[in-house]
Structure 1
């Protein structure tokens, strides 16, 4: 019989703990602890100052505050960067880290440098938005396997994302490839993982799982995502 896990769920840019509402019941019904987390500066924590290391501390502090063991850290999109750093910092509390169609951290690199087109584009995106990345729009959700209702829920719930967290460099004490990890690739958002993820998947500790949906599977296919999380948590 497999042991129970504690799933700590962190959604990507613009989103908070609420984004996992349709995933949580399936995980809890299977007997696991489930702990969705909102990062500083987002959703119900709007107004709190936040850089990338703030977000790493948010995750580590939550695990330690609740004294969680057998932790499965789940990071979606942007949040793969702080989740990857937090995963090594919680030590033997970690069972596995799961990256959901996400960026992954590289030591000394930021979200901008590993995914976007550099600081100039970031500055342009933040200009006029008070230092925040403006929330996604309905057009951003096109072709991502979402119903109109799911799109409306996603867009209406999104809040501006703290711009500092996008430019701060990641800090890794050891290679990310040494962590036990699963990468979930959402195929409607691109058939292949990024080159940095492909290199990590070549190692013995990483697994690839594909899901035939778009970039926000917690909305478009919550049951399918929950089943993958349950299947890959060991």
Structure 2
């Protein structure tokens, strides 16, 4: 039995995975959606990027999970990638869902040459937190009005230090067994950093014809992809 640990991106918490979790559990697997510090029901707590890495590693160790498929969406790919390195032989596979990936010494915003100043200014203006998107920002991503309403209604401000602190990697990501899920409405191809890793033997690409939040727009399809990834093994 696989243990899925699922971490959503900026502004979101464990609640975002509800529909996917139902599918995974119905298939007979453990599913553990995780809310990172400062988000969701943990709203307002100060957190840096390494806090989020620790949240993930500690959850896996506290539950003594084995055969872990660790899933990171969007921003969460950065702490998830670092945590995947840190949990050793507990890991079966890491799945990056239309996500950023960590690079040693680089932060979430360091790869945003045009948007970094805007994000950092927004964080400074909102007490150290990055404010959630508006409903209009989700248009064109394959979401219904009801799904957009769920996201906007549940989103909470994101702790800014997690976006500006650098990642720390103890070993190269290319050594990990990994699947990268590219959501095509958010861009036709992965970034150059992901494309380079996909040339290696341990990384695989899966495409979804939907937008950046497939846990809402295509939960059953995403669950099938995660189940397939679990079967891919190391």
| Category of TM-score, reference length = shorter chain | over 0.9
For residues 53 and 217 of structure 1, the distance between their equivalents in structure 2, rounded to whole angstroms, comes to 26
Secondary structure of 2:196 counterpart: helix
- Alignment counterpart, residue 137 of structure 2, candidates 120, 140, 143: 140
Q: Does 1:10 align with 2:4?
A: no
CA distance in structure 1 between the partners assigned to 2:225 and 2:88 by the alignment: 24
Alignment match, 1:151: 148
Q: 1:74 aligns with which of 61, 71, 74?
A: 71
Aligned-residue offset at 1:119: 4.8
- TM-score norm. by structure 1 comes to 0.96
Q: Structure 1's 7 and 21: CA in aligned 2 closer, same or farther, altered over 3 A?
A: same
Q: Is the 8 A contact 1:103 1:115 kept in 2?
A: no
What SS does structure 1 have at the residue aligned with 2:96?
Answer: strand
Instruction: Give the ranges of 4+ consecutive aligned residues of structure 1 lying more than 3 Å apart after TM superposition.
Output: 115-119
Q: Secondary structure at the match of 1:140?
A: helix
Q: CA deviation at 1:122?
A: 2.8
Q: How does 1:131-210 map to 2 (within 5 A)?
A: 131-210=128-207
Q: Give the 3-state SS of the residue equivalent to 1:18 in structure 2.
A: helix
Deviation at 1:124, TM superposition (A): 1.5
**Number of aligned residues:** 231
Which residue of the partner structure matches residue 95 of structure 1? 92
The CA deviation string for residues 148-176 of structure 1, in whole angstroms up to 9 with x for no partner, is 00000111110000000000000001111
Residues 118 and 212 of structure 1, relative CA distance in 2, 3 Å threshold:
closer
**Inter-partner Cα distance in structure 1 for 2:194 and 2:113:** 15
What residue in structure 1 maps to residue 62 of structure 2? Answer: 65
Counterpart of 1:107 in 2: which secondary structure?
A: coil
Q: Please state if 1:127 is matched with 2:124.
A: yes
Distance (Å, rounded) in 1 between the aligned partners of 2:115 and 2:79: 19
**2: CA distance between counterparts of 1:78 and 1:103?**
6
Per the normalisation by structure 2, the TM-score is 0.96
Deviates further, 108-117 or 35-44:
108-117
Residues 176-224 of structure 1, C-alpha deviation per residue, up to 9 Å, x if partnerless? 1110000000000000001100001011000000000000000001011
Aligned residues of 1:108 and 1:170 also touching (Cα < 8 A): yes
Q: CA deviation at 1:127?
A: 3.1
Verify the 8 A CA contact 1:78 1:103 in the aligned structure 2. yes
Rounded to whole Å, the distance in 2 between the matches of 1:199 and 1:115 is: 19
Shift of the alpha carbon at 1:118? 6.3
User: Are the aligned partners of 1:119 and 1:167 in contact in 2 as well (CA < 8 Å)?
Assistant: no
